[in-house]
Structure 1
């Protein structure tokens, strides 16, 4: 047997695997937090351009301290701004859906007529056959 050595799986202790996994997890968590903070810096409408530049430089050039200080100083506002942004996106999406549904072929009157027919069918004023015939007339 020569000087070749074979490293087996049990040469790397379980604690070492755990600590390595922990460090990888913490790095990924920190990078995720860094991206969230950078997005939050640009999302804040009340902060001036100079303040945004200062926070961005602080977070990028002193990353660990900058991230911790930003979360300590402005962490509460991050959640509020995130919530406001999500609500604005939902409103924009809802408005888009309303405009799109209202400006289809024939306009919003088709949508209104179909809704009215559906209500009449659910009340029992129209049979299923009458409903289908009326729906075909509206759609074609």
Structure 2
């Protein structure tokens, strides 16, 4: 294999990987779109199988703006979910929740009164 064969192999490999990335983005967008019916989704998938490059170009031209908007909306929702999760985990249970769970343990006989008082004072600190 000489230099030019290797060069063209690298170029073809780059375009093939780029096409696969676009294809997976299109398929992900198809299933992310809740406004498109199942029949239209199936039709797009069939065309992607039998006429892949042309269908991908048509999809990007016809639905590119909506694709970007759905992607941004998904990223914003993921950011909000992450922030909510971090806020919930960082705050931990409230002192009232800690005392209530300690009281439930005391009522069940799992802990003694001295342990309940210790947990209660720890929660109030």
Instruction: Check conservation: 2:29, 2:70, Cα contact below 8 A.
Output: yes
> Paired residue for 2:10, among 21, 27, 33?
21
> Paired residue for 2:47, among 52, 58, 62?
58
Instruction: Return structure 1 stretches of 4+ with deviation > 4 angstroms.
Output: 137-140
Q: Give 1:138 deviation, angstroms.
A: 7.3
1 or 2, which has the higher helix percentage? 2
TM-score by length of 2: 0.69
In structure 1, distance between residues paired with 2:66 and 2:96: 42
Change (3 A) 1:13 1:91: same
2:88 match: 99
> Paired residue for 2:32, among 43, 46, 63?
43
Task: Compare CA radii of gyration and give the structure with the larger one.
Answer: 1
Q: Which has the higher contact order (CA 8 A, sep 6+)?
A: 2
Instruction: Check conservation: 2:95, 2:124, Cα contact below 8 A.
Output: no
What stretches of structure 2 of length at least 5 have no aligned partner? 98-121
1:68 match: 57
Q: In the TM superposition, what are the counterparts of 1:105-120 in structure 2 within 5 Å? A: 106=95
1:87 match: 76
Number of aligned positions between the proteins: 101
